[in-house]
Amino acid sequence: MSRDKTKADMIALISTALTKRGCHVIQSTGDADVDIVKATVERSRHCTTTLVGEDTDLLILLLHYSRTDNEIIYFRYDANKQSKEHRVYNISLLKETLGDDVCNYLLFVHAYSGCDSNSIYGIGKKSAFRKLVKSDPVMSCAGAFILQNKSQEEYQILAKT
């Protein structure tokens, strides 16, 4: 059996077992981060929801896609498996504190500053985020321009790069 076939069979087996136990299972064909966050936001329409992950992309996407009229969403960040410490973020509270403009431009700033990689254009994540929070006119204009001139699909591609 090929490795891909074995992997697909294992995923199908696990998905079936979880579905039988009442879990909602989503299979993603590509980068799953956007699908995971959208499923979390959808679930938060009905109850308080916690997303557990190791990737700051999930936090950025939650802040961008979450809705204030849903139940509370928590993001539990487990980056260091050896340490028993983890961080838990209340997305609703964070979104309220940061404000709509910052949360709307976060995907742009995250993509511009290199996402999971080191910075590009010599601008790191912290300095880009600080500029956004302090309403730096260049950063705000660039974020607004990207939002106005990109379709939703193009914007998701930008966020995944």
pLDDT band for position 42 (cuts 50, 70, 90):
very high
What are the start-end ranges of the E strands in the chain?
49-53, 73-77, 87-90
Number of Cβ within a 10 Å radius of residue 51: 22
What's the pLDDT at 33? 87
Q: How many domains does the chain have?
A: 1
**Residue 153 in domain:** yes
Q: Is it the case that residue 123 has pLDDT exceeding 90?
A: no
Domain that holds residue 123: 99-161
Q: Is it the case that residue 133 has pLDDT exceeding 80?
A: no
Number of Cβ within a 10 Å radius of residue 20: 8
What's the pLDDT at 14? 92
**Residue 91 in domain:** no
- pTM of the entire predicted model: 0.65
What's the pLDDT at 122? 53
**Residue 37 in domain:** no
pLDDT band for position 74 (cuts 50, 70, 90):
very high
Residues 42/70, Cβ–Cβ less than 8 Å: no
**Residue 72 in domain:** no
**Residue 119 in domain:** yes
State the chain's mean pLDDT as an integer. Answer: 75
**Residue 160 in domain:** yes
